[in-house]
Amino acid sequence: MTIEIPQSTLPYPPLYQGKKFVVLSDWDGTITNYDSNDYMTDHLGIGREKRRELNMEILSGKQTFRDAFREMLASVVANGHSFEECKKILRENIKLDPGFKSFHAYCKSSDIPLIIVSSGMAPTIRAVLSNLVGEEAAKEIDVISNDVEIKDDGKWEIKYRHPTSGYGHDKSQAILPYRSLENPPILFFFGDGVSDMSAAAHADVLFVKEKPYGENDLAAYCVNNGIKHILFEDFEAALKVVKDVVEGRKSVKEALEMGKC
């Protein structure tokens, strides 16, 4: 059976070749304390209750992530919120996972590329990222995401990387090229929600973030599909496991057997 590779409307950064390890991570709700798109939808759009209904439809297969996510963001536009206003609100309200700066510093000192793989929009990610880690540190981090199209009348809509895919952005396409390298690296992937389902089965070590407010959609997906993963609360806890694998104290299999860190 041949799996059709979705055509990308946006460029990819070059692959990091010759690396022993590569970290790929979702942005919203994983590196940040709150999913910025959820924040917009909950506070500026259709509200949390309707958003959760749509998330459940995605999990059950009744609706694609692409179509449900477009509906969520369109509700923000329909309520009259400009894209610049949204960026400002997100910069003011979205915070960083408390352990991420230390995690990023370890990756940098250990020559481990860290790549953000997001179903969000590049301008909002960059606006919040630079605000939280600083302009220079933000420039060092590759972002593979969707984009935004702002129309002449000021209204805006998401521009999907993979518009023909039900995911809108098929995150597996950021992971799978590393599998084709002559000496593929060990791949760590970090995620939390329905936007990460396309990537879940393709990492060597999958970390799934536990949410204090109970929206553990990626964990539910992994359990339902028999995908081994490690639950983590923050990047400080995850760093200990990554260090163990990188520094040879644990194998990938032994790390996955932990189940939670």
Residue 13 banded pLDDT, cuts 50, 70, 90: very high
- Domain assignment present for residue 84? The answer is no
Q: Is-catalytic flag, 26?
A: yes
Residue 3 has pLDDT above 70, yes or no: no
| Coil, helix or strand at residue 64 | coil
Residue 2 banded pLDDT, cuts 50, 70, 90: very low
Q: Quick one: pLDDT at residue 194? A: 87
Residue 82 has pLDDT above 90, yes or no: yes
- Phi, psi values for residue 246, rounded to 5°: -60, -40
Strand order in the sheet with 114-121: 156-159, 142-150, 114-121, 21-25, 186-191, 205-209, 230-232
**Can you read off the two tokens belonging to residue 122?**
């590049």
Average pLDDT over residues 13-33: 96
Residue 1 has pLDDT above 70, yes or no: no
208 forms bridges with which residues in the sheet?
Answer: 191, 231
Q: Is-catalytic flag, 234?
A: no
Query: Which of 28, 42, 204, 217 is flagged as catalytic?
Result: 28
**Can you read off the two tokens belonging to residue 184?**
């593929």
CATH number at residue 242: 3.40.50.1000
Residue 186 has pLDDT above 90, yes or no: yes
- Tens digits of per-residue pLDDT, 89-120? 999 999 999 999 999 999 999 999 999 999 99
| Coil, helix or strand at residue 228 | coil
Domain residue limits at 130: 21-33+96-256
Q: Quick one: pLDDT at residue 217? A: 87
Residues 173 and 88: their CA atoms lie apart, in Å, by 31
pLDDT > 90 in the chain, percent:
92
- Domain assignment present for residue 112? The answer is yes
- Domain assignment present for residue 80? The answer is no
Angle CA 122–133–131, to nearest 5: 60
- Number of C-beta neighbours around residue 126 at 10 A: 18
Query: Within 21-171, where are the H helices?
Result: 36-44, 48-60, 65-78, 83-93, 100-109, 122-133, 135-139
- Domain assignment present for residue 232? The answer is yes
DSSP assignment, residue 47?
-
Average pLDDT over residues 61-76: 96
| Coil, helix or strand at residue 29 | coil
Q: Please give the tally of structural domains in the chain.
A: 1
Residues 33 and 63: their CA atoms lie apart, in Å, by 26
* Terminal Cα distance for the chain, rounded: 37
DSSP assignment, residue 81?
-
Residues 25 and 30: their CA atoms lie apart, in Å, by 8
Q: Where do we find the tokens 């599998």?
A: 179
Average pLDDT over residues 191-207: 92
- Domain assignment present for residue 63? The answer is no
- Domain assignment present for residue 250? The answer is yes
Q: Quick one: pLDDT at residue 83? A: 97
Residue 166 has pLDDT above 60, yes or no: yes
- Domain assignment present for residue 43? The answer is no
Average pLDDT score, the chain: 94
Q: Which of 57, 178, 162, 60 is nearest to 115 (CA)?
A: 178
